[in-house]
Amino acid sequence: MMTSTAFENKTVIVTGAGQGIGFEMCKQLAYRGATVLLNDIDEVLANDAAQSIRGEGAGNCIACAGDSSDKDFIQSMVDLAVEKSGSLDIVIANAGITLFGDFFTYPQDSLYKVLHTNLGGTFFLAQAAANQMRKQGKGGSLLFTSSVTGHQAHKDLAAYGMTKAALEMLAKNLVLELSPFKINVNTIAPGATLTERTMDDPNYEAVWSRITPMGSPARTIDIANAALFLVSDGAKHITGQSLIVDGGWTAISPSPNEV
């Protein structure tokens, strides 16, 4: 059920995409003609997700199970993209873990895990992809999944929020490095989004509906729509930017009559 050809002849890697936001990005890209390498650390989830996209009759979706923060695995994903279709055009470093915890007692292993997955994984995927794109000589697009918590403080998310803010600075730095090769690099910062993970909390939708100006948390398609724009040919002149998709949550602060 391909709906358009906007991404025909584009080969894309999306990490952490067995479910949630990344899965929706893969589905929408495949619907539009892309060859998609769908990565997840959970092999069953990766295979089932890719199979379900193919099953809907949408283009080419290849499961690529492995740890997106492992440098050797990252290189093997880039090599697989090239082997399957001759080039790599778009990379969405979407895998990220959220480990909540009180700052005063936050454990060292949690901090290093969050840094390793959210920052290390994105940094080395960007590096491997940029090297490949530079070799190809026809530009490319990188997109990192950040978060509103990289812009606004959020209780018990000091470590996670710090990694998301750092991803936004990484994108800005890479403007210097990658613009000469016509590779643009942006971040997308989702607000509260309904996914399999967030919906584990039975109060999630009601609470975020109450505190989000637009009256609801995002659906994964809201995030995917914005992401597809940022990696499309239409956004080639946009680079080093962060697009917040949060129903207005970060635009406001508590008013006197609310406290």
Kindly list the residues in this chain that would bind ligand NAD in the complex (CB under 6 A).
15-16, 18-22, 39-42, 45, 67-69, 94-98, 117, 121, 145, 147, 190, 192-193, 195-198
C-alpha angle 39-5-26 in degrees, rounded to nearest 5: 15
- In what helix (H) or strand (E) does residue 133 lie, and over which residues does it extend? helix 121-136
Q: Are strands 35-40 and 140-145 parallel, antiparallel or unpaired?
A: unpaired
Q: Which residue, 33 or 118, is less far from ligand NAD as judged by CB?
A: 118
160 is catalytic: yes
Q: Which residue, 33 or 146, is less far from ligand NAD as judged by CB?
A: 146
SS3 14: strand
Q: Which of 87, 146, 164, 242 is catalytic?
A: 164
The least CB distance from residue 42 to ligand NAD, in Å, is 4
Of 144, 252, 124, the closest CA to residue 190 belongs to: 144
209 is catalytic: no
The least CB distance from residue 111 to ligand NAD, in Å, is 16
198's tokens: 């967030």
CA dihedral sign, ordered 100, 50, 67, 188 = negative
Q: Which residue, 60 or 98, is less far from ligand NAD as judged by CB?
A: 98
The least CB distance from residue 123 to ligand NAD, in Å, is 13
The single-letter DSSP state of residue 216 is S
147 is catalytic: yes
Q: Which of 135, 147, 204, 216 is catalytic?
A: 147
Q: Which residue, 159 or 183, is less far from ligand NAD as judged by CB?
A: 159
SS3 13: strand
The least CB distance from residue 58 to ligand NAD, in Å, is 19
The single-letter DSSP state of residue 115 is I
Catalytic residues: 147, 160, 164
